[in-house]
Structure formats: structure tokens, C-alpha cells
Structure 1
Amino acid sequence: MYRIVTVSGEANRVMPLQIKLKSRPAILPLYLRALTARKQGRLAGEGGRILASVSLNNQAVDPISLRAYREVCGFADGSQLPATYPFVLAMPLQLRLLVSEAFPFPVLGVVHLRNRIRQYRGLQESERLDIRCDLCAPVAVKRGYEFELVTSIRVAGELVWESTSTLMSRVKHQDTQTLRTPAATQRGGGKSDVADTVSQDWQVAADTGRRYARISGDRNPIHLCAPTAKLFGFPRAIAHGMWSKARCLAALEEGVFAGKLPTQFEVEVAFIKPIFLPARVSFESSTDTDGTVFQVYSGEGKRVHLTGKLVALREV
């Protein structure tokens, strides 16, 4: 299913694990490994350095899965892929890295803090995609360790899409002298005073987590139903963070951008508080010369779930 490539380099330095897949990995065995793997809890090398990489080339898009993704996230039909859809294609590769010997901590309990996507051109549904994911070494922060998963998509050698996910493992650490200050997150404060804001109310169904899980393969128990979520300390199932981001992007595409997003753009979000299912939440966006900022909140702005910003990139 995969092969490990030995990498030469500097003496006395641990080289990144490189995995080349020949086919898309099955999700269930990876989750079983996530549940049963014993992790040593020790770091190798400096924070931020690439620990492992996995690649899978010449991948076609399944039109049935894509159609289901559009439906659950609110995207309209079109010839281009939604900008968040490559994340779904890469999810098994990311999980493969997290269950590998290169990642030192348990997978369960890892929290998705932030995600940034850069799209350099629109991806066509008919294109064949080369996917690569890199796992970067964790760095100590106040509440545990933060690390990044960096995903890139190429078509015929051309870099067309990139994503950086910042995640955190709540593992205690000894060295309090080298703690890194977590990156600041853009927090909303309820309804904006900007005159040109656009607002929507969303009814998020109780089965949203299960529907998104069937498409994405992310069957983390906290997203499926109340009984499985309670096993991990949540009163009810919570929506996937990347579903929330995709739903925001679909709303921006339909409303602010009148059905067509910029050709090249960057969209970054911070996941602040979970959305418990079912839920009634509000989406709000405002646009100025610096870009479009948006947020998802509930309770008349008392509980902010997500904040984000979309900016057009200069044409290359």
C-alpha cells in the first residue's frame, strides 16, 4: 500500500519519514490504529521541522461524493471544485501521518485550532490531482503542543492549492521555559456596526456531523451522535470545523461574491467554540478594501464559534 523512502542528509539528525501511497488509504484501519497505538510522548528535533510526509498522485474526483459534499455544505453546482473540497481528499493522508511513528502523541483529543487555504487557481472537477501532506514537529504552548499539517495540491507539476492546519495536543510538558505564545486569533464580538454587513441565520441539523463524516471520512466519535460525543466529554455531537468553514465559504460565494469567488484567494479561519448539534447559529460578513471578514455566532453574539477572513491574492 505504501513504501518508505530513506532520505540522506546531515549526520546525527533524524530524517523525515517519507511515505508514497499507491492508493487512497482505508479510513477504518487508521482509526483502529488511532485508538490502539501507544505513543511515546517524546519530541524529535526542533519545533516546526518536517517530521514526515505522505503523497498520493494522479487522484480523480468522484462526482457522486462531490455532489454530496456540495449539498451538505451549501455549495451550488459548478465545474470548479469548492476551495475546501481538496481538504476532504487529503484527510486520509493526514490521518495516516498522525497514526505513524513520526507523530509522538495520541491522536484522540487533538483539537483543530486554525486553518488557512490558499487557492492559486480554480480546480476543475476533471483534473487529476497530486496530493502531498507534511507533518511538522510540535512546539510547546501553554496548554500543550501545537503542530501543523501542511497539504499541497499539484496538477501536472503546477502548485494550485495549499492548506495549513494548526492543531493542538493537550499533553503536559516539562519545559516551561521554551513555551511559544500561541498565534492570536481574530475574535468576533457579535453583530458588527459596519453598514454593508451581510447576515444569515442557519439551522444546523442534528445529522450534519454524520452526513459530513460519510463524505469526508472523518468519523471522529465527537461528531456522530450524543452518546459517542459524551464518551469524550461533550454533551452533544459537534459540527466538524471544516464543515463550518466550508459552509461559510458557500455563503460568501452565494452572497457577497454573487456566485463567483476570486480566481486566487486566501481564506483563513480560527475555530473558537464548537457548534453543538442541532443548532441555530448566525453568519455575518463585511467587506472593505482589506478583504472580507466573517464570523459564525449564537446567543446574540455571546458565543462566537468561528472567525475568518478572505482576501484576494495578486494575480500570478
Structure 2
Amino acid sequence: MPDVAPTTESTQVEPAGGLGTLVKAALPSIPGVNALPGVKKSPVEGFGGLALHRPPVRVEREHVAAYAAVCGFPSKDTVPFTYPHMLAFGLHMGIMTDTTFPAPAIGTVHVANSITGHRPIGVGETLSVSASVAPPSGHPKGLVYDFATQVHDADDTLVWESTSTYLRFGKGDKSASSGPDLPTADPTGQLWSLPGDLGRRYAAVSGDHNPIHLYPLTAKALGFPRQIAHGMWSLARCVAALESWLPDAARVDVAFKKPILLPGRVAFGSRPLDDAAGSYAFSLTRPKDGAPHLVGRTTAV
């Protein structure tokens, strides 16, 4: 994973969430309001990085079960591979809504994610969770911010880590990388019908109440024809479909392509890759024309 350690010290906070966080996320995108003290974002040129960590948190069975049900995982005594992101999302929002972070949260797009699970995490474990972001790097369509998350167990052993990449559209660097180069996988006959309330159901367990995921009216206000699925839900649903092939220590990389409109249908595909790591390529595509919603790869570590 890329080294994204910031130049600032890590600050302990209670994870951001709720209506107050939504308001803080939205205000920097409102003309006029975004110039007010306490709302105005700092210039990107002076941003040296930001890091937050939360008090140790116990993995609660009820929350794990609710997440597993929404994302298609079976009920087990260990958490789904993607679940620790739930423990870090509030830290991500805390960083994005901090005035020192240059980009407004609304309109900043999640374009890629890389997760490494070093061992299964048990329900009932107490974990330490931290998140950090460094100054942005170039992208053909703007700037990208890599949010690094680390999860340690009670013995201070790293058990899970991820890099979530967010794009802020603007003046781009045509020579910069556009993201990870991942293998493709054609659909294999599995069609998933996604209900219109999927975004609201996922928001209830994740805390991610971005308006683009909730209702047609709130999504249209932000430029979408109707609400769209969360990228992390689509990643989790794919991992759930491949869970029986994942080893105890694994890495999953994904690039998010086109949004998934709700309600809607998606076609899932996967195929084994010819390597020593037992890797799989996977995808979600639009059934009518094969346009990709996401492409990904699993790898043993």
C-alpha cells in the first residue's frame, strides 16, 4: 500500500456521524456559505496531512449481524472481510469535515479501495482504529486523496488495513495515473436485483448518509437521475460472493467505475487468475450493455 503518513500528529476523537456531520459536509459546497469562518476550507497548497484515531472499540455482534445481512455475508463468529471499514468511516468523515482538509466532502468521489486483512477478526474483540491522509497527488481529472486506515488488536498487532482513494475533480495532470490497473471478469450468469431502499439500509449500518444514496429527490439535487448504491456496499457484496475462496490473510483491490442506480440490476462476474497467489478477478457490470460498475482482484498474502 502507498505510504500516506501525514506530517501532523494523530488526534483522538469520537467518530463523526449523524445530522451534524451531514450539515458540516454540505456547507463547504454552498456558494457564499463556504466563505464563512468555521466553514471555509484551507488551500490545498498548505495542507500537510491529517490523522485521527478513536478510543478502543469493541466489535458488537448485533452491529456485525446487521452489516452482514445488508451485504450478503453469512452469520459467523468472525467479522466480514470489509466490516472494519465501518469502524473507520466516522474518522474519514471527521477528516473530510475538518476545515484544514482542502476538499469539501460533498462532491469528493470514492474511486478506488485496497483492503488487506492479516487475520480473521473475532466478534467481541476490542480494536484500535486510526485513519490518516497525506497531501493529494495528481490525477488526470483532478487531485486524489489516499485515506489510510489501520486496525490493531489488543496486543497492538496490525490485523487490518486499507487505502481509500477519493477524487476531487478539477484541473488534472494528464501524465498522472488514473488508478489501479486491474484485470477484468466477464459476467458469469449471476444477476442481482437491488431495491430502491438499499442505500438507506446500508446507511443505517454504516453511518454514510450521503444524500446521493438515499432518495431520488436528494440524489437529483446533486446531479444524479436517482439514488445510487454505496461503493463500499458494492465491494462488500462482491467479497461476500467470493468469501469461500478467500484465505485467512488476503488483499482485495477495487476500482469504482460507473454508479449503480437504485432500484436496478447488476451482473456479477468472477474468474480465477493464473498465478501462485490463488487470485480472483471480479466485476459488477450493467446487464444491458456490459458497462462496468467496478472491477476488482483478490490476492492471498
SS of residue in 1 equivalent to 2:133: strand
Structure-2 residue corresponding to 1:149: 147
| Alignment CA distance shift 1:153-1:189 (3 Å) | closer
Indicate yes or no: 2:255 matched with 1:270: yes
- Report how many residues are paired: 281
Q: CA deviation at 1:64?
A: 1.9
Structure-2 residue corresponding to 1:135: 133
Indicate yes or no: 2:83 matched with 1:92: no
Q: How far apart, in 1, do the equivalents of 2:180 and 2:216 lie? A: 31
Indicate yes or no: 2:119 matched with 1:121: yes
Q: How far apart, in 2, do the equivalents of 1:199 and 1:212 lie? A: 25
- Which of the residues 178, 182, 187 maps onto 2:178? 182
Q: How far apart, in 1, do the equivalents of 2:183 and 2:225 lie? A: 24
Task: Write out aligned runs for 1:45-60 (5 A).
Answer: 51-60=49-58
Indicate yes or no: 2:239 matched with 1:249: yes
Structure-2 residue corresponding to 1:296: 284
CA contact (8 A) 1:51 1:134 kept: yes
Structure-1 residue corresponding to 2:295: 307
Quote the RMSD (CA, aligned, Å).
2.0
Structure-2 residue corresponding to 1:77: 75
Q: How far apart, in 1, do the equivalents of 2:9 and 2:104 lie? A: 18
Deviates more, 1:292-301 or 1:241-250: 292-301
Q: CA deviation at 1:286?
A: 0.7
Q: TM-score, normalised by structure 2?
A: 0.87
Q: How far apart, in 2, do the equivalents of 1:228 and 1:127 lie? A: 37
Q: CA deviation at 1:15?
A: 4.3
SS of residue in 2 equivalent to 1:57: coil
CA contact (8 A) 2:42 2:101 kept: no
Deviations 1:280-312 (A, max 9, x none): 111111113421000011235521101000011
Structure-1 residue corresponding to 2:44: 42
CA contact (8 A) 1:154 1:161 kept: yes
Deviations 1:47-105 (A, max 9, x none): xxx60110113201232221111111000010110011100111001100111133112
Structure-1 residue corresponding to 2:99: 101
Deviations 1:3-49 (A, max 9, x none): xxxxxxxxxxx94153112x44443222221122221343226xxxx
Who wins on radius of gyration, i.e. which is larger? 1
Structure-2 residue corresponding to 1:28: 19
Task: Write out aligned runs for 1:57-72 (5 A).
Answer: 57-72=55-70
Q: How far apart, in 2, do the equivalents of 1:51 and 1:285 lie? A: 37
Q: How far apart, in 1, do the equivalents of 2:17 and 2:193 lie? A: 32
| Alignment CA distance shift 1:101-1:199 (3 Å) | same
Q: How far apart, in 2, do the equivalents of 1:17 and 1:148 lie? A: 17
Q: How far apart, in 2, do the equivalents of 1:43 and 1:28 lie? A: 30
Q: How far apart, in 2, do the equivalents of 1:115 and 1:15 lie? A: 22
Q: CA deviation at 1:153?
A: 0.2
Q: How far apart, in 1, do the equivalents of 2:186 and 2:118 lie? A: 32
Structure 1: unaligned runs, 5 residues or longer: 1-13, 192-197
SS of residue in 1 equivalent to 2:56: strand
Task: Write out aligned runs for 1:152-301 (5 A).
Answer: 152-155=150-153, 156-172=155-171, 180-186=176-182, 188=184, 190-191=186-187, 198-254=188-244, 257=245, 261-290=246-275, 291-301=279-289
Identity, in percent, stands at 35
CA contact (8 A) 1:141 1:180 kept: yes
Q: How far apart, in 1, do the equivalents of 2:60 and 2:180 lie? A: 37
| Alignment CA distance shift 1:295-1:189 (3 Å) | closer
CA contact (8 A) 2:17 2:207 kept: no
Query: Which AA in structure 2 matches 1:267?
Result: V
